[in-house]
Each structure stands twice: as C-alpha cells, then as structure tokens.
A and B are shown apart, each in its own frame.
Chain A
Amino acid sequence: MTAHPPSSPLGALLHAIGIQPRTPDELARALGSTPDALSGMLRTLRSGGYVQDATPQQDGCACGPCALKSMCRNADSAEPALHLLRLTPRGETYLRRLS
C-alpha cells in the first residue's frame, strides 16, 4: 500500500516526482500546494541527492523525431528551460522503501 499519510510532505513530493519528471509548478498543482511552499522541500531533496534536474537527453522522451522541438517545454537545451525535476537512483530507492 502506497497511501501516504497527509503528514509526509517529502514522501508525497517524491512520489509525485516519481510518477514522471515535472516542474515545480506542476508539482504544486498535483499536490494542491504552491511552488513557494514546495521550494524549500525541493531544496532539501536536492541537497540530499534525492532529486535532480531532468535533462532532455535522458528524459525528453520523444524529442528526437518530433517536429515541434522548438515549441517543446524541455527539448534540446543544455539548460532545462522549464526546470523539470526527476528522482535520482537514491530517490527511487527511498521511495521504494516508503511503499
């Protein structure tokens, strides 16, 4: 069972990032929170090595053949324009332990 008690904010956040790489804004929406309120938690998770920036090479799913790379939120830029976040292997391990 992976139901997170409501008092596990970092767990819920990791879980939300684990579903798919997302931007802080998308995460806030998914969790019914605000990007501001999440910023500190994301910083903690990042400093603990649980979360990292998603890079288009790894996470840009189908960028290669897409004709609309230029309008894609995260295609082909070294510096991810929209700041997608993904779990690190450490984050994945931790999340597995939670569930």
Chain B
Amino acid sequence: MATSLERRTFLKTTALAAAASAAAARGWTPAQAAPAGVDPAVAARNPAGVQWNKAPCRFCGTGCHVQVGVENGRVVAIAGDQLAEVNKGLLCVKGYHVGLSLYGKDRLTQPLLRKNGVQVPVSWEEAIDVIARRIQKNPKGFAFYGSGQWTIPEGYAALKFTKGGLGSNHIDPNARLCMASAVTGFLSTYGVDEPAGCYDDLDKADVVMLWGNNPAEMHPVLFSRLIDRRTRGEKITLVDLTTRRTRSSDHAQHVLLFKPQTDLAVANGVMRELLKRGTWDKAFVDKHVAFRQDTADKPTLDGRAMDFAAFRAALEPYTPEHVEQLSGVNAADIRMLADLFGNPKLRIVSLWCMGMNQHTRGTAINRLVHALHLLSGHFGTPGNAPTSLTGQPSACGTVREVGTLAHALPGGRVVANDKHRAETEAIWNVPAGRIPAKPGYHTVQLWEKFSTPADKGGDIDTVWVQVTNPGQTLPNLGKLFQHRKAGGKFLIVSDVYPTATTREADLVLPSALWVEKNGMFGNSERRTQQWFKMVDPPGQARDDCWQTIAVAKRLFDLGFAGMRDKDGRFLFRVTDAKGAEVPAWKWERYYDVNVDKALFEEYRKFTPYKHKHLAPYDEYVKARGLRWPVVQQKNGTWRETRWRFSRFDDPFVSPDREVQFYHSLTKDDRAQVWFHPYEPPPESPDAQFPLWLCTGRVIEHWHSGTLTMRIPQLRRAMPQAYVEVNREDAARLGIGQGEVVVLETRRGRLELPAWIDGRGRPPQGSVFVPFFDEKVAINQLTLDAHDPISKQPDYKKCAVRLTKKAGGAA
C-alpha cells in the first residue's frame, strides 16, 4: 500500500512539474499564487484519514451500492459506488444521507421492560430470560413478526428459531403488506417466485409501462437509469398508468389516469385487442403458454386450466369502449397500448410496486400483467420483461428466498408439502415431524389474534417484532394493533429508535443498525449483497441475530427440547476453524466468528431446489452482489444469471429450447396465462364517504419514517404528512392551501393540512396521504380487506369524507 502511494505521488509531482514549467514560460510568477502546500489547520482534518468500505443501501429494494466512509469509529461520508452495476455511482437523497440514520440522538441504547406500566431499564440477561420463560410457558402462542429489512442471516435464524425450534409456523413479515401479491403472481404464472428479467432490461427497453408506480420518488435511481438514456439521445416511450399525477408522470409521454381497481379492465382490454387484431405472438403462445382461471368456488394459487377458445371468449366483453366506461381511460389509449404490445419490434418492460400489490385483486392484476407480456411475446429477451420492484432492501433476499412467511420454508419450499418439511428437518437435523404442516397465521390474522383476548379466540399471546413498525404500518390500526386492550399479551420489540410500536411494547430491545453489524441483503433483481460491520452500535445495542440466538440458548439452558437437534446439540451451534464450538450467544464472543457466514452457508444448502443457487459467502465478499442462480463454472469461477428461462443466459434451460419454464405449474415447461374478470373494490365512494383515499410514500422518507425522520436534511424537506386535494374539489369545499381538513372513513378520523397542486395531483374525487408521519397515523383510516390468495391488504383505495375543520361536509 505504502509503495503504491509513493508511486502515485511521484507521478503527480512529475505531471505537475511539466504543467508548471509551461506556466512559468508565460511569465506567470509564483508571487501571485496561493500559499504552497496544505494549510496546516485544514490538514489536521485531512479526509484521507477516512477508511472506506462497501455496503448495500439500508433503504429500498433497488439495492444501490454505497461506499461508506468511516473515521474514528463513526460514519462520516457516503458515496455512490461508480463500479456498481445497479446504481453506477448515483444514489438518491435518502441513500446519500443513509449514514446519518445511525446518529439520531434518541437511539435506543438499553433494554427496557414494562414494570407497573412504565418501561424501565433492565439488563440484557434479564431481558433474554423474560423472553425465554414467556416462550417456554406457551410456545404455540408465540409469533415472530419481521420484515424485508431482516438481513438474510437474521431472517434465516428467526425462521429456524420458530419453525425448527418451536415447531410453530407463526412467523410472518411486514412484506406481507408489501409484495405478497407479486409473489403469488410469479408463483402461479411461472411456478417459481421472482422476476425473470433484471435491471439491465431498463437499458434496452423501448417502452416502459408504469403500472400504478411512481419510481421517480420510490425507486429514483432506477428511474434515472431509464430517463438518463434520453439525455444520451436514446428514445424511450414512458407510459404512466396511474390513479394520480406524480413526478413520474412529468417524464411520461402518456399519462393514462384510471379509476381505482380498474387496472384489471385495462389489461383485459389490451389483451382482447391483441387477439382481435391477431397481433399476439402465436408462436410463443403455442410453444410456451397454457391458459388458466380461478376455480369456481374459492380462488386458489393454482386455479384450473382453461383452453384458448374459452380464454378468448372470456375477454370478449372488454372492448375498448367498455373498458373506457369502466376505467375512464380513453378507448383510443387502449388501442394505443395494443399498438405497443402488438409490435414485436418494440422491447417492453412493465414495472410495478405497491399500486398492483396493495390491491384486493393483487394476485389477479399481477397475473394479468404477466399474461400481457406472455401473450404478446414481450418476454425472455433483453428489454422485454414484466418486473416487480420491492420496497425493502431484502424483501426478496430474506422474505421470499429464505421464506420467513407463515406458509414457507427456505429455498421456495412450503410447509404444506411433506417432502419439503422432511428436507428442511433433515438439513436442520431436527426430529421428523418437528415442523407442522398447517401454515401459521399470516400478518392480518396474527395481529387480529394478538389484539383479541385469549377467551375470545385470541390464541397469540406473545409477539416478537424485529426490524419493523407495525404500530404505524398495519392497516386499520384501531382493529389490528390493540393488544394492550386485550389483556394478558406481551409485545417484544427490537428496534433502533422509539416508534409507535416500541411505545406499546412490554419489552424493548435496542438493536444494531446497518453497518453496525455484518449483513446480507437480496434486492429486486435477484442480487445478493454482503457487507461487514464497520462501526460499533451505541450503548448496549446489539445485533438482532444475536438476540434470537441468545434467546434460543436460554431456552436450551432451560431444557426446552426444541432448541436441541437430534444429537442433543444446540440448534444454532457455531464452530471455529478447528471445529470447536464458539459461544456466540455471549455478546462479547459473538464476533469471534462470522456468524453470518455460518448461517448463510447452512441456508445455501436449501437454494438449488428451485434453481435459486447461491455462491459461497466469500464470493459475495468480493463482488458487488451476484444475481442468482449463481452457478460454478468448469474453471471454478462463479457465474451469475441475468435472464432466467432463456437459453442464452440461463444455464438450466435445455440446450434444445429457446425458452423453458422449468418450474411450470403444469409440469410441461409452460407458463400460465390467467384470465381474471374486472371486479369492483370492497369499498367505493358513496353519498356518505364520497372520495377515494389513496396512501403511499414520498421520496424523502422511507416507510414509517423511523430512520428518515431523524435525518435533518430529509425531515426539513418533508417535515410532516398532508393530504393532496384536487383543485376543483378544494374549490367546491371552500378549502384553501394549507388549511386543516378532517379526513374520516368508517374506521377512523384524522386532521391534516390540505395541499392543492402539490407533489402529486389526484384527479377530482380522490385524495392522497403519505404514511411516513407517525404523528398522523393514516392507517387508522385504511381498510384491512385483503387479497384472498396473497392475504395482502389494500392501502390504495377506500372511501373517505373530507370536511373543512370549521364545518361543511364534502
């Protein structure tokens, strides 16, 4: 290192000498120059003392690579990694300020136990013991509630703790509220979860469809990757299918406003038009597609087959004019979309996120967008892909791949499958039958049971929340976050700051955050990323993963049989290089070995089953993430896969096939094109509640604002929530800019200032409220109605009444 520095200095000096002699030749005299050398006062704070390392960003699912500058044990700077394929040196305003998220002055630094109604500091030993004894008393009444912010090893440990240790399936993540419908969409279309394409498609596409998606604010780096192509002289057509004008609409050629829920009608209208014109891709459909619909009685993940004639007949009512009537999108625009999808020369990417997923017909609309791509053959080549985006850094890596869900097991397995359970029990070395076949409670059920007294069927009495804030983000909070009223319940919350959830907790555990611990995340394009701990957590804050292992060990010591494997060994046994057990449950010994690596290498064994192969841990240390399946080559190197199911890139496609859906639901290498009718939403505006309410995010804040509201630059930019009101509606109601209005639904009431012609512009008859502000918990108003298959609630539409605070109803 020293040698190379000296060499660089020498080269620079030489170059300078040459440049300076040229200046001297022009008669330029040194007397006019600034003082030579480095100002000693400034040199004392020379940023050369900053040490840099890599990490994925802590916020959304884009998975940008940041370089983290550390000096004297603190993060002091952040830079976008120029060599990272995801973000190519750019970040967004949240990412540039991610380092500040560690330093809010109210970090939780010691365990707090509620005694006589007050949270008082306790030791870690006491906290761990309280949890273990609580679980020991009633293991089946315990539920783990996590998120897509769990690192891969953290999520894996929590899953193994619950399903392998407690023999219970009561573990679910907040991702249920976030992308469960995307999962069911992929599973029922391709037989395996997660997008076939990747971000490289954004560099190739001619047309990009935004389905109820506002990436300019929610996935800004990907959005820039797209529109920056225009700066370079390339042409891209951006179609914004939306229920309100957003910053993304600004950059779109086509802004098609549709009435909430009618995206299903729009998709059906375009497919009908393709069939009518004969511009669907007959060859692709013949070779690679089967048709499918819901079972007659109750919708299921697998549905039932239908033939092409029936599919065609089912679509017949969706004429452009009928679709216009349903959706408000012009018939001419439906035809325009059919022009785009009917043109095989165009490369088309569809992007979506919460608009399609937080939808009571979420699985259906996900399937229809896949269907549109498959039917038109816009699939399987670079620039042609239906790609869902995720909101959390490891919604894919942890929740979807590890499987921290009530029904799932690692690597794409499910608890309902005997073979899957047996394989999992074998890898964990636990007795056969340890894992129950019946799925646990999904998120909405879990919180409903926790908010219900035991004698009324509320059979969950202890919930441990890690890395999420359900007290703010669950829908219909007045119903789903009421455990304190239910009595006899015990809420454990691991977090980094006080939140709406910690305030209602019986035990609060201070956690390490981001680069205060080792970690791995998996982003929206199947990219697994790794980072190392760079700074110490404050006070007594400790890793979530350590917390889980420490409770497991305490249970083990208390004689709880579930925490032993078949050979009587501790379930989370970690060994050093010589094979000796390391007491990782002791905090001071936790970093004696890389526990992340040990857990990841065990988890890796699960991944080949659904062709989601992961490389060894050490490969991720060297890489800026790798997209699975990562397969070892003959020369020993590890190769990532950018496009799945296509022979040119996916090593698992047979050499004699161009495209092969090798996890097909119908076991014939075909993907499923589903038919779904348009169905009205569970709650629509009426005389009493005449407006639509949509909720969502803003660029400055990330989800419930726990981190970003503590970053001065972001909080000053967007200090509080508001309600976006249409100008016409405001005029009619006599509401002025900034005036406080009352928002009421059948579930709750809130006061908010009105923003007219603001960040977003909802059409007449609708309003929008962001959910980041804990002072204005909009989820007291939202609906807990959910998709029948994915169980994901709909935060995007319910009926609301807007009143001037002084009086006068809308």
A binds B: no
- Give the interface of B toward A (CB within 8 A): none
- Give the interface of A toward B (CB within 8 A): none
